[in-house]
Structure 1
Amino acid sequence: MEETFKNFYDTLLDNLDSYNGEYAAFIDCGPNLFKLLCNLLEEDINLEIRRDICGAIAYYVAPMDVIPEQIYGPYGYIDDIYMSAFVLKKVAEEYGYEFIQSVWDTPDIDIKEVIAECYERSSEVLEEEDIKAILNYVGIK
């Protein structure tokens, strides 16, 4: 019998599928931000940005990050989303939002607005020491 395994993107979608909590509006962006980060690795980008993107991707799969999903459920993705938005803002500074939009799988949704909302909302929820710990976890200052 052949088994099929889900990729991590599909696992993220499943994990957040039924979440309707207070932060659902931006937590639901998590899987698509993860996929965007992965797609960006296929592009011609400089080494520093590539490392930051890899750090943000790795942060999603780290089992015991600053706010672990195993303990906090969907709320635990807030730090992952913050990390994604932080790195995507750096990508935008280097290459522009048009570049990111061209890699984004949902061209009818403005990625600049998604990144801004995710960054702003996650920053409102996280404590300053959480943000420092998140960036320190992957070595981004």
Structure 2
Amino acid sequence: MIKLMKNDHEDFYKKLRSDINSWMSKNTSLDNKWKDFILLAPDMFHLLVKLSLDSRVPISKKAKLTGAIAYFISPLDLLPELFLGPLGYLDDISIAAYVLNDVVNEIDPQIVREHWAGDSDILFNIKNILANANNMLGSGIWRKLRKKF
């Protein structure tokens, strides 16, 4: 089962990265202020999966991580990628940051850094996303999402 999850995770990760890169290359003139956040989506998804499989993460946090993973891959969410393209990942990224912040407050932050595949500092990214979530999503959507997690 873990091997299956690993393959599914890698397939989704690669597709997500490919979709976002393709969108960014087609929209080079687009001045989207959330572009840097959107580019974090594949690495945030990867981190959620890696932490959910790490034995050092408490079961209660793994449940939240799994919920965030399910939200990421679900086509039915508050900002659907099907209609919005990569802008639809802003809610997924915000939920990931919200859940990761909860995890970081319970485990050694070094464990989170250990699994982070991105180039920038994950702890800074989490704080930055959370600080901007209201503006990215609108306060009503952000409030609804936080209640789910």
Corresponding residue for residue 123 of structure 1: 134
Q: Give the one of 87, 92, 99 matched to 1:87.
A: 99
* Alpha-carbon offset, residue 125 of structure 1: 1.5
Q: Give the one of 77, 81, 87 matched to 2:89.
A: 77
* Alpha-carbon offset, residue 96 of structure 1: 3.4
Runs of 4 or more above 6 Å deviation: none
Alpha-carbon displacement from aligned partner over 1:31-79 (angstroms, at most 9, x marks no partner): 1000000010121221210110001100111112000001111110000
Stretch of structure 1 that moved more, 75-84 or 37-46: 37-46
Stretch of structure 1 that moved more, 95-104 or 75-84: 95-104
Corresponding residue for residue 9 of structure 1: 13
Which of the pair is proportionally richer in helix? 2
1:65 matched to 2:77: yes
Q: Note if contact 1:67-1:76 (Cα within 8 Å) is conserved in structure 2.
A: yes
Q: Distance in 1 between matches of 2:120 and 2:143?
A: 30
Q: Distance in 1 between matches of 2:88 and 2:117?
A: 24
Q: Distance in 2 between matches of 1:54 and 1:98?
A: 20
Stretch of structure 1 that moved more, 20-29 or 74-83: 20-29
Two-structure CA RMSD over aligned residues (Å): 1.9
Corresponding residue for residue 3 of structure 2: none
The answer for unaligned runs of 5 or more in structure 1 is none
Q: TM-score of the superposition, structure 1-length normalised?
A: 0.85
Aligned to 2:106, what secondary structure does the other structure show? helix
Matched letter for residue 127 of structure 1:
G
Alpha-carbon displacement from aligned partner over 1:91-129 (angstroms, at most 9, x marks no partner): 1100132221122224x6321112122222333212222
Matched letter for residue 8 of structure 1:
F
Corresponding residue for residue 62 of structure 2: 50
The answer for unaligned runs of 5 or more in structure 2 is 1-7, 25-29
